[in-house]
Structure 1
Amino acid sequence: MTDLQTLGQQAKEAATELALLNTKEKNQLLENMACAIENNTEEILKANQKDLEQADENGIKEVMKDRLRLSEERIEAMAAGIRQVVQLNDPIGTIKHMWKNEEGLTIGQKQVPIGVIGIIYESRPNVTTDAASLCFKSGNAVILRGGKESFHSNQLLVSILQEALEESQFSSHAIQFIDDTTHETANEMMQLTDFLDVLIPRGGEGLIKHVKENAKVPVIETGTGNNHIYIDKDAQVNMATDIVANAKAQRPSVCNACETLLIHKEVAAFFLPAIEERLIELGIELRADEIASDYLPSATLATEEDWSTEFLDYILAIKVVDSAEEAISHINRYNTKHSEAIITDNYFTAQKFLNEVDAAAVYVNASTRFTDGFVFGFGAEIGISTQKLHARGPMGLEALTSIKYIIYGDGQTRA
């Protein structure tokens, strides 16, 4: 069984060493990691094939296997993600604000690493390199605990990153991997208060809920994506059809895919048949309320449960609403505060939607699929936070830092 106490102590020591590196040194080590990923493409594909074969044996759906599957292109994208992190400004050591108080003390806020970050995640091997590179650039050691579905891929990826560090005479303990995928080890990780400064779960609703309820380590919640698109009465049918098709079908197994379509009653009769035709071509199953069903011959009747479900599949729930106000109310009741979109040519309705919808990312006339750290220019992401404390939305380098107050005096004492 994995000795988490030893891993924790090693990570803490590595974090101290990592915090002393300058930006140029960190960037060179990250470039070495990117090259190592590229140079081991064949081995990574072989390890990933083991995971895919295991997925077949366990009857995992094809749509979920897409999250797991690697290709030469995806491996190249992983290396590119590391290199984009290299190009980002290093936040560590930045003085965000400085002022002088009444006593003549000069007080400043300096960005510093959090320390040791633990990440529990499922299925997607690219999380391994995204998390490792972001943590490293922000001066944090990381302990990774991936799911059993991607065990072989994750284990090899971490060993490649560690070897790249060792070849550069830097501690491989800065990036560590828990090779035990049992629930007992995950639960033990959640109790590592002496070593972990924060724990970030990234996966399905069950994983995130379990971590929130059982962790003693501080948690940054990365949420599930029960995301909506609202088609307003002032929308364009072609734009609406294109955006809905992209948000639902381009990659339905990811957290920024659309799960529910809301549409204004004044355009439902005209828009829904066109949308249905496109979605049927893409293999989407439609579940509609009674009004929407009148315009959608292929749809089955939606249940109350459908409105709160993150399908992660080729399924879309559809509801007709009387107004933008009703759409906003529905979204704020059922959403997971991830990504929401409105399609409209009405500026005032768009602004109302932006102001009143409670979510980490709110779009006007664009697909929810853009909620992604790489797309937002963060190089990669550690996850998409749906909470409101410390970090919200795609979490890049800034979200992995803390503040240290630095104070300069010239002999002051407090009366």
Structure 2
Amino acid sequence: MSEIRELALRCRDASRAVAALHTEDRYAMLRAMADALVADAPAILAANAQDLDAARDKGVGAAMLDRLRLDDARLAGVADALREVAALPDPVGRVTRRETRPNGIVVERVRTPLGVVAMIYEARPNVTADAAALCLKAGNGVILRGGSEAIRSNQAIARALHRALEAAGVPAAALTIVEDLRRETMVELLQLTDIVDLAIPRGGEGLIRFVAEHARVPVIKHYKGVCHLYVHADADQALALRLLVDGKVSRPSACNALETLLVHADAAEEFLPRAAHALRAHGVELRGDAAARGIVPDMGEATVDDYDAEYLDLVIAVRVVDSLETALDHIHRHGSDHTEVIATPDPAVAEAFVQALRSAVVMVNASSRFSDGGELGLGAEIGISTTRLHAYGPMGLEALTVERFVVRGEGQTRNIHD
């Protein structure tokens, strides 16, 4: 038996112990996990510093370094997120629908854990804690295969969390860290159809495609975020400017950061100079089409590739459009079904925008940065699904369970009658 198969089997066995815990016991376990992160902060931050040094030596870019970096505030935020998840209503065992059939049987739809979730991700050590908390709260086991850039950070976080699991009487294997980071091992993990119930890749486009192409288990993709802000002709320009700066600048390495600005021609003459001034004050590079450059002449030239790009950096593509329909056509051709934003006071225009798009999250007069499980009331998220399966958009606890049927009767039979 291969090592990865043995690890997965242990995780599956341990997941049954998690599913058997009472709600209050899982709540206490997650609170203890959060406390363990705080207690182990010096060791975790020291491990993270080693990862950062190694990443810099390899020439890793600024966006990846930002995703990799932990500090006291970020680690405290991760612990707070675990406490928020702990306090959320338990989805396991919840009856979502109940009806009595004409023959007297009672049919219930009841939420139950998925089983074993494999999380494949890159340089985000916070995912180690977030994914563990969400999967365990939902009664699952979790196999975490992070990237080599964050291996020391992930190991240090897992050591802290394992203590809390063991104190709750749950085998540490319920939270399994894969330390063999060879691609062959990842491929084998993704083909364990008899053990792994769901794989969730979270990272760059190359990782997502690799997982989708090699997996035999079901996959929910956290695909790239090519997020747009469309400023309609009648937009409140001060409001639109706030959405633009917050969406692009507050954390450009996040998948919910804005990557493209679309401005209606009737608003562009006034809005684009203000937008360029505000963005450049934060070091943002603008790349625009001919119409945008006609208004802001020192703007760089945008190519088709720019409109397809997830920069994850202080760069934004700009285009002037002549109608809502043109804006929607642009989004359909270049978007990634992640998050789209419109700035308009007109409810009819806003509704047309919402109904025309199939993106996982659509914002009306609100920042793209709210496209986040915590901000949308889910607690910490395990990812933002851009795959239309049982979950779409930010994935929280409920997305880590499925509905099954429980039928209660009093001896009814279908074909045999007294």
Q: Which TM-score applies when normalising by structure 2? A: 0.97
- The residue that corresponds to 1:210 in the other structure is 210
Aligned to 2:100: 100
1:338-369 CA distance string (max 9 Å, x none): 00000111121111111112201101111101
Aligned equivalent of 1:396 = 396
Asked whether the 8 Å contact 2:204–2:224 carries over to 1, the reply is: yes
Q: Is 1:37 equivalent to 2:37 in the alignment?
A: yes
Confirm whether residue 252 of structure 1 aligns to residue 252 of structure 2.
Answer: yes
Partner of 1:242: 242
Measured against aligned partners, the alpha-carbon deviations of 1:170-210 in whole angstroms (never above 9, x if no partner) come to: 21111110012221211111111121011110111111111
- Aligned-pair CA distance for 1:238: 1.4
Q: CA deviation at 1:396?
A: 0.4
1-structure distance, mates of 2:282, 2:2: 44
Q: Give the match's secondary structure for 1:229.
A: strand
Residues 137 and 397, structure 1, Cα contact 8 Å, conserved in 2: yes
Runs of 4+ in structure 1 deviating by more than 6 angstroms, as ranges, are none
How well do the aligned residues superpose, as a CA RMSD in angstroms? 1.2
**What secondary structure sits across from 2:153 in the alignment?**
helix
1:51 maps to which residue? 51
SS at match of 2:92: coil
Amino acid at match of 2:154: N
The answer to whether the aligner puts 1:133 opposite 2:166 as a matched pair is no
Q: How big is the shift at 1:394?
A: 0.6
Secondary structure of the structure 2 residue equivalent to 1:294:
helix
Cα-to-partner distance string for 1:140-190 (whole Å, 9 max, x where unaligned): 000000011111101111111112212333211111100122212111111
SS in 2 for 1:19: helix
Please state if 1:324 is matched with 2:321.
no
Distance in 2, Cα, partners of 1:25 & 1:298: 60
Counterpart contact for 1:2–1:185, Cα < 8 Å: no
- What is the alpha-carbon distance in structure 1 between the residues aligned to residue 350 and residue 116 of structure 2? 41
Which consecutive unaligned segments of at least 5 residues does structure 2 have?
none
CA contact (8 A) 1:193 1:217 kept: yes
Deviation at 1:411, TM superposition (A): 1.6
For 2:100 and 2:363, locate their aligned partners in 1 and report how far apart those are by CA, in whole Å: 41
CA contact (8 A) 1:284 1:314 kept: yes
Aligned to 2:28: 28
Is 1:190 aligned to residue 197 of structure 2?
A: no
Partner of 1:225, secondary structure, is coil
Query: For 2:182 and 2:313, how far apart are their aligned partners in 1?
Result: 27
C-alpha distance in 2 between matches for 1:294 and 1:356:
30
Q: Secondary structure at the match of 1:340?
A: strand
Which position in structure 1 is the counterpart of 2:148? Answer: 148
Question: Aligned with 1:7: secondary structure?
Answer: helix
CA displacement 1:111-141 (0-9 Å, x = unmatched):
1000000000011111111100000110000
Q: CA deviation at 1:413?
A: 1.6
Counterpart of 1:301? 301
**Cα distance in 2 for residues equivalent to 1:403 and 1:286:** 47
The 1:300–1:96 alpha-carbon spacing in structure 2 relative to 1, beyond 3 Å, is same
AA matched with 2:218: P
Q: Deviations over 1:298-349 (max 9, x none)?
A: 3111111111111111110000000011101111121110000001111211
Contact 2:361 2:371 in 1 (8 A): yes
Q: Which sits farther off after the overlay, 187-196 or 68-77? A: 187-196
Q: CA deviation at 1:2?
A: 7.9
Other-structure match for 2:341: 341
Give 1:13's aligned residue. 13
State which drifts further: 95-104 or 30-39.
95-104
**Which residue pairs with 2:358 in the alignment?**
358
Could you say what secondary structure the match of 2:352 adopts?
helix
Deviation by residue 1:369-392 (Cα, 9 ceiling, x = unmatched): 111111112110010001222001
Contact 1:378/1:396 (<8 A) preserved: yes
Contact 2:25 / 2:168 at 8 angstroms: preserved in 1?
Answer: no
Taking the aligned partners of 2:306 and 2:151, their CA distance within structure 1 comes to: 32
Aligned partner of 2:364: which letter?
Answer: V
The answer to whether the Cα contact below 8 Å between 2:228 and 2:341 also exists between their aligned partners in 1 is yes
Instruction: Please give the alpha-carbon distance, in whole angstroms, between the structure 2 residues aligned to 1:169 and 1:412.
Output: 41
Aligned to 2:114: 114
CA distance in 2 between counterparts of 1:406 and 1:370 reads 37
TM-score, normalised by the number of residues in structure 1? 0.98
- Give me the whole-angstrom Cα distance separating, in 2, the residues matched to 1:67 and 1:17: 33
Contact 1:2 1:178 in 2 (8 A): no
State how far apart, in whole Å, the 1-side matches of 2:82 and 2:251 are. 23
Give the CA deviation at 1:63: 2.8
Would the alpha carbon gap of residues 130 and 2 (structure 1) be closer, same or farther in structure 2, given more than 3 Å must change?
farther
Counterpart AA for 1:6: E
